[in-house]
Amino acid sequence: MAKRYLLKRRQFGDPILRKKAKALSKKEILSPQTRRLIANMRYTLAKKKYGVGLAAPQVGGNVTLAIVEIKPTKTRPKLPEEKWASLVLINPKIIKTLGGRRQLYEGCISFAEVFAKVPRYKKIRVRYLDEKAKTHERNFKGLLAHVIQHEIDHLDGVLFVDRVKDETSFITQAEYIKRIKKQKVTSNKQKAKSRKRILRKDK
C-alpha cells in the first residue's frame, strides 16, 4: 500500500472554501492523482476525532469530490451498525428532496470548534460517481443525508454558517459535547424508568 499523508486542512477565511469546485471527468477520476487524493483524504479524516465528512476544497483540492465516513465516536459510541457509512462522492448532485427539513447541530473541520443548528432535508436523492467512475443514484436519509448535504455545499463554495437560521444556536465544541453527554444520561434514566414500569406490570 502506498504511503498516505495527512493533508493540511484549510480554515475559514481561505479563498478556496468559497470557490465552486470543478467537476472531474471519468479519465480524471481513474487517474493516480485522484486515487492518491482519495486515500489521503480518508487518512486525514480518520485522524480527526469527530469528523464524519471531508470535501476536497477543505484540503486544497478544487474538485467536486467528497468522502463520508460515519462511524462510532465519543459522541456516538453506540451508533447502530446499520447507520455506519463509507462513501466516495464524485460530481454529486441532489436531484430530489424528500419530506421536510429538520435542524441538527453541525460542526466543520474548517472552523475551529464551532457548532450551530442547521436546517437540512430529512431525505434526499443523489446522483454521483464513485472512485471507479461508476454512476449511482440513491436515496439517503437521517444523519447520512444531513452530512451529504453539508459536503455538497462545500463543493459549491457554501459553508454551514451560511445556512444557520438561528444565530443564538452557535456554541463551542466543548459545550456541544457536554450537551450530548447530558442527553445520553437523560435518555438512559428514561429507559431505566421504562424498564421498571414494565417489570412492575409483569409482576
- The pLDDT, as a whole number, for residue 47 is 85
Q: Which three cell numbers stand for residue 39?
A: 486515500
Indicate the pLDDT class of residue 79, thresholds 50, 70 and 90.
Answer: low
Per-residue pLDDT tens digits for 24-73: 999 999 999 999 999 999 999 988 766 899 999 999 999 999 999 987 66
Q: In the 8-state DSSP scheme, what is residue 30?
A: T
Per-residue pLDDT tens digits for 127-163: 999 999 999 999 999 999 999 999 999 999 999 999 9
Q: What is the DSSP string of 146-177?
A: HHHHHHHHHHTT--HHHH-S-GGG-EEHHHHH
Q: What pTM does this model have? A: 0.85
Q: What angle do CA 128, 50, 67 make, to 5 degrees?
A: 15
Provide the annotated active-site residues. 151
Q: In the 8-state DSSP scheme, what is residue 44?
A: H
- Sign of the dihedral defined by the CA atoms of residues 92, 159, 142, 113, in that order: positive
Question: Residue 112: exposed, middle, or buried by beta-carbon count in 10 A (0-12, 13-18, 19+)?
Answer: exposed
CA distance linking residue 193 with residue 189, whole number of Å: 6
Residues 6+ apart with CB under 8 A from 57: 10, 16, 17, 19, 21, 154, 155, 157
Q: In the 8-state DSSP scheme, what is residue 73?
A: -
